[in-house]
Amino acid sequence: MSTTTELDQLHELISGMRRCVTSLASRYGDTPAMRRIVNDAERILNDIDRLDIDAEELDLSRGVVHTHHHVGEKIGIPDTQYASDFWQDVDDEGPLTSPFD
């Protein structure tokens, strides 16, 4: 989804899907299968709405793709024993076992 044209094409397809679902619903009525189709279509429409929000945030609607590489800070974990009061209010869940033992 890197250009406005691709987003426009996606919205045209979504409009077609809406028309098809509406047509199917009028033909088959309120059946469990039809409700599932309508629900699936609504989920797709919601996902496309979120895609539009993300596209605006990433400037994809102008064809500009920004890649951000975030390098997290490494946090050292000491090898020393913790003080016994560190574990004071923790329940013992027993030894860890693997289901593959």
Domain boundaries, the chain: 4-59
The Cβ of residue 24 has, within 10 Å, a number of other Cβ atoms equal to: 15
The phi, psi pair for 93, rounded to 5°, reads: -100, 10
More confident residue, 2 or 51: 51
Give the position of tokens 């929000």: 53
What DSSP character marks residue 64?
-
Q: What is the pLDDT of residue 100?
A: 56
Rounded average pLDDT over 60-88: 65
**Does 1 score more than 50 pLDDT?**
no
- Range of weakest confidence among 2-11, 19-28, 45-54, 92-101: 92-101
| pLDDT tens for each residue of 48-73 | 888 878 877 776 545 544 454 455 67
What does the block give as tokens for 70? 């975030």
Q: At what angle do helices 4-28 and 32-57 cross, to 10 degrees?
A: 160
